[in-house]
Structure 1
Amino acid sequence: MQLNLSNIEYTYPSTAEPALCAVTATFPRGWTGIVGDNGVGKTTLALVACGLLRPDAGTVSPPLFSAYCAQDAKEPPDNVVDFALAHDGLAVRLRRELAIEDDWPWRHVTLSGGQQKRLQVACALWAAPDVLAMDEPTNHVDASTRRAISDALSHFDGIGLLISHDRELLDTLCTQCLLISKGTVIMRPGGYSQASSQAFLERSSAVHARDEARKEKARIEREARRRREEASRAAGKRSLRGIDKHDADARRRVRVAVVTGKDGQAGRLSSRMAGRLEDAEARLAATRVEKRYEANVWLDAEPSRRKLLFRMGPCSIPLGDASLVVPALHIGNTDHIGLVGDNGSGKTTLVRRIVEGLAETTRFLYIPQEPDRIQERAALGALRNLPASQCGRILSVVAQLNSDPNRMLEGDAVSPGEMRKLMLALGIVERPQLVIMDEPTNHLDIESIEALERVLAVYPGALLLISHDAAMVEAVTNVVWRTRPVEGGYELVTG
């Protein structure tokens, strides 16, 4: 069994540009990752594949029983009551694997986001569709929920379409990945790591081919210039102008050259060089390389001269009816710390305590998980009030973080992911000694996450990163603080 999409085209009624154009792909049994920047048509493709959108052109075959799980799980699944009343083996196993309590289906509105997502996944798997499309199933959930969802999805034996920026999930589940970029789709074997490695090798080859094409074009241009100069000198030699009419020998040599045609060879060779130059220019134009911004954004940043930026003795931080037990903590001037743990375990509360305890002389940048409207308006206002030179620097950083700088200057609002990028870019020019980011990968596509990783990994100062993204934590931090449940609440482990 496989699902075939052939020359699919789709344009939303309210837009001029097509969301999908001439997309052809084959999806066999197992999970296929659908990867690409925000807005390139990933969700549209999944909706077409599941029969929820009818394409303007192209075919989806054969007709199969399909289910689509939206990124937002706030609406209860259509079959939630049937699942709640079911006691077959699959329903029992899904409740156990996803830790779903018996009363969850009856109080869906009171569940947390992670609990709603678990219930959504369970209902979709219990329906046993031929085709199951999961749209960002691990977005905004903690590590334990991610693991539970991954384990449950791994047992699905139909055709799975996985839209995700969770690289660990893509590597665990997928046997192939469909990479969507600027209107083109490429199917690559393996999980995301294998697919992106192949894309990197191909880009490197394209860069090498482009550089070689440029060198060849420059060499031919030099040779063509030399031939034109030779042809010009030869033309001058064939002319009798400037030769004394009494200089019989010189006039005879010119006539011999014209008769033998030797001086005309330079002109013919010059003409042929023009053709070779056109070929070289065509080869260079055909060598396409995706633009990447990889300059150093931390040009003026340096670690604090103080070796220790923060110190706190052992304490217990209240968390409603529970508490977080914290050992003695310190943050060095070059430490890159990852703070990980389940939602509700006090990570953000701890970070706020750290921010309050920083010395007034410490230059720090704190970007919260969900900036409020006041912070968003302040960031946009700061950008628009900057001098042209500083504004250009900010927008350059935004471009390196895989966003269109022009969108930052349009209107009064940007997406949550782009707002974090703007806040980081604005903070960079202040040369912070400590950067604190709370769940920075929320709302970001994979290219943006990897761009953010490149920026944070080379930051010379101290970094405190709260994240459920295991790959990012591994890539940019060298110390991990972890919250874990204990009797009466949670404790922080730093070793």
Structure 2
Amino acid sequence: MQLNLSNIEYTYPTAADPALRGVSATFPQGWTGIVGDNGGGKTTLTLVACGILRPDSGSVSPSLLSLYCPQDATEPPQNLEDFALAYDGHATRLRRDLGIEDDWPWRYGTLSGGQQKRLQVACALWAAPDVLAVDEPTNHVDASTRHAISSALARFGGIGLLVSHDRELLDALCTQCLFVAGGIATMRPGGYTQAEGQASLERASAVHAREVARREKARIEREAIRRREEASRSAGKRSLKGVGKHDSDARCKKRIAVVSGQDGKAGRLSSRMEAKLATAEARLAATHVEKRYDADVWLDAAPSRRRVLLRMEPQTLALGDATLSVPALHIGNTDHIGLVGDNGTGKTTLIKQVVGRLPDGTRTLYIPQEPSEADKRAALATLSDLPDVRRGRALSIVAQLNSEPERILEGDTISPGEMRKLMLALGILDRPELIVMDEPTNHLDLGSTVALERMLAAYPAALLLVSHDAKLVAAATGITWRISGAGDEFCLLVR
């Protein structure tokens, strides 16, 4: 069993450009990752594959039972009540594996986001469709929920389409990845790490091919100019103008050149060079190189002169009815620290304690998990008031984080992910001694996540990063603060 998309075209009614352009792909049993930048057409392609959107042209075959599991889990699944009343072996195993309690379906609106997502995935798997598409199933969930969802999805036996920016999940589940960009799709084998490695090789090859085409075009341009000049001189030479009426020898030589065809040789060579030049220009224009930024943005950043930015004595923090035991902590001027743990264990509370206890004068950039409306207005106002040079520097950093500066300048349409990029870019201008970021990859596509990972890993001063993205934490930090425990008692361990 497999699902085939053939030459799919789709344009939204109010859009000027198509969302999908001639997309063809084959989806076998097992999981296929659907990856790419925000706005590239991933969700549109998934909706077409599931039959929710009808393409303008092209075909989806054969006709299979499909189910789409949206990113937003706040709306109860259609089969929620049926699943709640089912006690067959499949339903029982799903409840056990996903940690679903019997009363959850009856109080869906009071569940946490992670609990709703577990129940949404359980209902989708219990329906046993031929084709199951899940959109960002691990967004905003903690490590235990991510593991439970991954394990449950791994047992799905049909055709799975996984739209995700979770590299760990893509690597664990997928045997191939469909890269979607600008409405065009390219299938590559393996999980995300393997497929992106192939994409990187292709980008490097395209860069080389473009440079070769550019040099060839420049060479042909120089030769074409020389041929034009030669043809012009030749045309002047064969003209009888200026030759005396009685100079029979000169007139005879020019007529012989006309008869022999030698007088038009330079012109014909010039025409051929013009044709070669047109071919070279077409080849250069057709050599597409995907835009990626690899520059180092920390050229003027440096660690604090103080070797230790913060020392904290052991303490116990109140978390409502629960407590978090914290040992003695310190942050060195070049320490990169990853704070990890499940939702509700006190990570954000600890972060606020750290920021609040930093010595006066410590240049600190703190970017919260969900910037408030006041934060957004302040960031946009700051950008607007910057001198041209500093504004250009900030927007250059935004571009290196895989966003279009034009969208940032529009202001009203800026997304939460783009706002965090802007806040980081503005903060970098002040050369912070410590950057603190709480769940920075929420709402970010994979390209942006990889760009952020590269940028934070190279940061020369101190970093405190809260994230559920294990690969980001592993790449950008060297010290781990892990919160563990259960019930109403949690503790922080330093590794």
So what's the TM-score if we normalise by structure 2? 0.92
Deviation string 1:358-390 (CA, Å, 9 cap, x unpaired) is 112211110000001111111111111222222
Report the Cα offset of residue 237 of structure 1: 6.4
Percent identity reads 71
Report the Cα offset of residue 22 of structure 1: 3.1
One-letter amino acid of the counterpart of residue 305, structure 1 = R
C-alpha separation between the residues in 1 aligned to 2:293 and 2:244?
A: 65
User: Does the 8 A contact of 2:380 with 2:411 survive in 1?
Assistant: no
1:127 corresponds to 2:127: yes
Is the partner of 1:366 in helix, strand or coil? strand
1:453-464 matched pairs, under 5 angstroms: 453-464=453-464
CA distance 1:487–1:12, shift in 2 (3 Å)? closer
Between 1:149-158 and 1:263-272, the stretch displaced more is 263-272
Q: What residue in structure 2 maps to residue 274 of structure 1?
A: 274
C-alpha separation between the residues in 1 aligned to 2:225 and 2:7?
A: 47
Deviation string 1:270-325 (CA, Å, 9 cap, x unpaired) is 44333322222222122111222332222321111111111112221111122111
Q: What residue in structure 2 maps to residue 77 of structure 1?
A: 77
1:465-484 matched pairs, under 5 angstroms: 465-484=465-484
1:8-47 matched pairs, under 5 angstroms: 8-47=8-47
Between 1:219-228 and 1:39-48, the stretch displaced more is 219-228
C-alpha separation between the residues in 2 aligned to 1:439 and 1:35?
A: 20
CA distance 1:455–1:229, shift in 2 (3 Å)? same
One-letter amino acid of the counterpart of residue 308, structure 2 = L
One-letter amino acid of the counterpart of residue 164, structure 1 = S
Report the Cα offset of residue 49 of structure 1: 2.3
One-letter amino acid of the counterpart of residue 91, structure 2 = A
Between 1:53-62 and 1:257-266, the stretch displaced more is 257-266
1:492 corresponds to 2:492: yes
Q: What residue in structure 2 maps to residue 392 of structure 1?
A: 392
Deviation string 1:423-444 (CA, Å, 9 cap, x unpaired) is 1111111111111110010011
User: Does the 8 A contact of 2:33 with 2:191 survive in 1?
Assistant: yes
Deviation string 1:154-185 (CA, Å, 9 cap, x unpaired) is 00001111111101111111111111100211
Q: What residue in structure 1 maps to residue 176 of structure 2?
A: 176
C-alpha separation between the residues in 2 aligned to 1:71 and 1:291?
A: 27
User: Does the 8 A contact of 2:341 with 2:347 survive in 1?
Assistant: yes
How many residue pairs match? The answer is: 495
C-alpha separation between the residues in 2 aligned to 1:137 and 1:210?
A: 38
1:209-228 matched pairs, under 5 angstroms: 209-228=209-228
CA distance 1:459–1:245, shift in 2 (3 Å)? farther
Q: What residue in structure 2 maps to residue 313 of structure 1?
A: 313
CA distance 1:243–1:47, shift in 2 (3 Å)? closer
Q: What residue in structure 2 maps to residue 360 of structure 1?
A: 360
Deviation string 1:236-293 (CA, Å, 9 cap, x unpaired) is 7668999999999999999998888778655544443333222222221221112223
Q: What residue in structure 2 maps to residue 114 of structure 1?
A: 114
Is the partner of 1:102 in helix, strand or coil? coil
Q: What residue in structure 2 maps to residue 207 of structure 1?
A: 207
One-letter amino acid of the counterpart of residue 160, structure 1 = G
C-alpha separation between the residues in 1 aligned to 2:60 and 2:267?
A: 60
Report the Cα offset of residue 12 of structure 1: 3.4
Deviation string 1:400-439 (CA, Å, 9 cap, x unpaired) is 1111211222243521111101111111111111111100
Q: What residue in structure 1 maps to residue 165 of structure 2?
A: 165
One-letter amino acid of the counterpart of residue 100, structure 2 = I
CA distance 1:315–1:284, shift in 2 (3 Å)? same
Q: What residue in structure 2 maps to residue 428 of structure 1?
A: 428
1:303-342 matched pairs, under 5 angstroms: 303-342=303-342
CA distance 1:301–1:246, shift in 2 (3 Å)? farther
Deviation string 1:82-104 (CA, Å, 9 cap, x unpaired) is 22222211111111111111221
User: Does the 8 A contact of 1:8 with 1:58 survive in 2?
Assistant: yes
Q: Which blocks of at least 5 consecutive residues in structure 2 are unaligned?
A: none
Q: What residue in structure 2 maps to residue 192 of structure 1?
A: 192
Between 1:430-439 and 1:402-411, the stretch displaced more is 402-411
- Taking only aligned residues, the RMSD between alpha carbons, in angstroms, comes to 2.6
Between 1:107-116 and 1:294-303, the stretch displaced more is 294-303
Deviation string 1:36-55 (CA, Å, 9 cap, x unpaired) is 22222322222232233333
User: Does the 8 A contact of 1:380 with 1:412 survive in 2?
Assistant: no
1:296 corresponds to 2:293: no
User: Does the 8 A contact of 1:8 with 1:20 survive in 2?
Assistant: yes
User: Does the 8 A contact of 1:9 with 1:18 survive in 2?
Assistant: yes
C-alpha separation between the residues in 2 aligned to 1:467 and 1:222?
A: 55
User: Does the 8 A contact of 2:323 with 2:489 survive in 1?
Assistant: yes
Is the partner of 1:409 in helix, strand or coil? helix
C-alpha separation between the residues in 1 aligned to 2:36 and 2:238?
A: 64
